[in-house]
Chains A and B, each alone.
Chain A
């Protein structure tokens, strides 16, 4: 059931077996696992059922270090959480992502691929993927488009699956389940301001909750799970200083450190040998009933041989601006509208559309000799056409023959000729203790210290991307695809201006068996505590090669099983 926290009697203490803080992908997944059982669950959510700017502003904070989004941008603070703007990209972590790699400082999870394999199967159902296939060859066999002819020893193709937009919001998918559940109560508008512990700091005893309207109450539970995202998981732990001056679980100064993202930037440009090259395989497209997004990556054996982290590369074609402009012109829009009218698919302004198309098709008249019995171009026009390369000649088509003719020309050719390909590299950064979330003195409207993010990358990351691009460039040349230009300098101390993250907030309560190297253990239990768990991507030890959401769900399912087992 859903309850508005503003209606809870002030000063009261609610009781549950499990209290989950945060109704995003992790929190909702976890709560659903207990529906219909005997375990009483309270799910505490800061927001309501819809976006509210005042609530969202509780995320405001500061950014130092590398440029990053304002802190209220990458996440959403209402029921369903960040799934409301999730891009739906899914691919499981590879086994190597969990391994300790000598060349990656602080790498190595306490769990491995086998530990989570069965949870991935369940997670695929939770996120409602339409296929359980992750092998690239299987997708290629069924795809109408062809991948580039790369050798596969050094550069491989990976395939991500994309959840359709109408299935991404966990609020829409699972809100009704939680609303109908008699043993799960969702408290909306409820902000946790502190997790209280016993004197020794080993047991989380209760939560202090505040609403923006000024109501305050407590929640007591035998087990507490923090699931409010990669920044606020750390924020709540650091801010809970009632009995622990440095925050709970922070006896080794690790909470908030090792903040990870999946940075990306345009790292290379390819001039194709053949402008009619097709890279549609690498664009988001549908195969069967599944949306896929293939990308390039460095083969794992090659990564291991050279000591490289994971880099995956998206390919975006750049077309000749004249031809691309023609395809988007008003006259071509009129042509399409005209077609819709004539085929009964739409209603348009027939006269205006017809006029646009006809006048555009007469463009060539301006370049022909007046009064000639046939459309003879001026000699200088012929001379210009003769002097330029075939590539440049195509670019002259819109000017000489009009946008409609240019559009029809490119349609007959199947694709717009490609001027170049932009390669966007997204990489797995090295875990870095200096990349961290800390607290500011300034407090938000419910009294929580605001967060400061200091996002840092390292020289290892720079070398990693650079070397990966060199490997890709050699393969692009070998395969005859074209030539690659690398667009950033390894010797530079900075990063390209277009470096951005992917809204993937990870690592701030990292998982490790050693309390001196991680905040939570392999069961997501906070080291040194008996009943406080963390869910979400803040437990990631390394950023991995896959997008985080499906893995967040898989880990939440695994945590649910652990809590059920513990309860028996």
Chain B
């Protein structure tokens, strides 16, 4: 469990609600349809899942402040990919909408297995927190 750090509620809201990765947010948010095809590295594709990248990055920095051992972009990406259904092959073969679905499924599974971390008191799935960290570093 990560020790809480101060992060404003407003910034967290913008960070989380600007991210369509979880089933809940994907299912209810109007930007669900605004899935874009993003070329580039996996890190960029993960970061592009956030509609408000700056805010997501703020959450990511808060996470990394207490998990400095994870402050490597490549290792973060590898850790996220390794846990996604189908692994790297599935990710590379997925368009951005499919990637979003894979990530959402992983986040749901994290919560079901209670693989959660705490960032400034917020309980986030471990995959979700790493995605924020990617947004901070990418």
A485 touches B24 (CB 8 A): no
Residues of B within 8 A of A273 (CB): 22, 24-25, 27-28
| Chain B residue, CB-CB nearest to A472 | B123
Residues of B within 8 A of A471 (CB): 114
- Asked if A8 is at the interface (CB within 8 A of a chain B CB), the reply is no
Instruction: Give complex CA distance A36, B111 in Å.
Output: 61
Residues of A within 8 A of B110 (CB): 477
Residues of A within 8 A of B17 (CB): 271, 389, 391
Residues of B within 8 A of A390 (CB): 30
**Chain A: interface residue total (CB-CB under 8 A):** 24
A480 touches B123 (CB 8 A): no
Determine how close the nearest CB of chain B comes to the CB of A386; give it in whole angstroms.
13
Residues of A within 8 A of B120 (CB): 485
Residues of B within 8 A of A486 (CB): 4, 118, 121, 123
Contact among A389, A475, A487 with B111 in the assembled complex (CB-CB below 8 Å): A475
Q: How many A-B residue pairs have CB under 8 A?
A: 66
Instruction: Give complex CA distance A83, B108 in Å.
Output: 47
> Which DSSP category, helix, strand, loop or mixed, fits chain A's interface?
mixed
| Chain B residue, CB-CB nearest to A466 | B1
Interface string of A103-115 (1 = CB under 8 A from B): 0000000000000
Interface string of B3-24 (1 = CB under 8 A from A): 0100001001100110000111
A477 touches B116 (CB 8 A): yes
- Asked if A22 is at the interface (CB within 8 A of a chain B CB), the reply is no
B121 touches A470 (CB 8 A): no
B116 touches A470 (CB 8 A): yes
- Asked if A474 is at the interface (CB within 8 A of a chain B CB), the reply is yes
- Asked if A167 is at the interface (CB within 8 A of a chain B CB), the reply is no
Determine how close the nearest CB of chain B comes to the CB of A333; give it in whole angstroms.
31
Contact among B1, B27, B116 with A480 in the assembled complex (CB-CB below 8 Å): B27
Most buried by B among A269, A480, A482: A480
Interface string of B114-136 (1 = CB under 8 A from A): 10101011111100000000000
Query: Would you mind naming 11 contact pairs between A and B with Cβ atoms under 8 Å apart?
Result: A271-B17, A470-B1, A476-B123, A477-B107, A477-B110, A477-B116, A483-B123, A484-B122, A485-B121, A485-B122, A486-B118
Identify the 4 closest CB pairs spanning chains A and B, nearest first. Answer: A480-B24, A273-B24, A478-B111, A473-B123
User: Which residues does B use to contact A, with CB under 8 Å?
Assistant: 1, 4, 9, 12-13, 16-17, 22-25, 27-28, 30, 107-108, 110-112, 114, 116, 118, 120-125
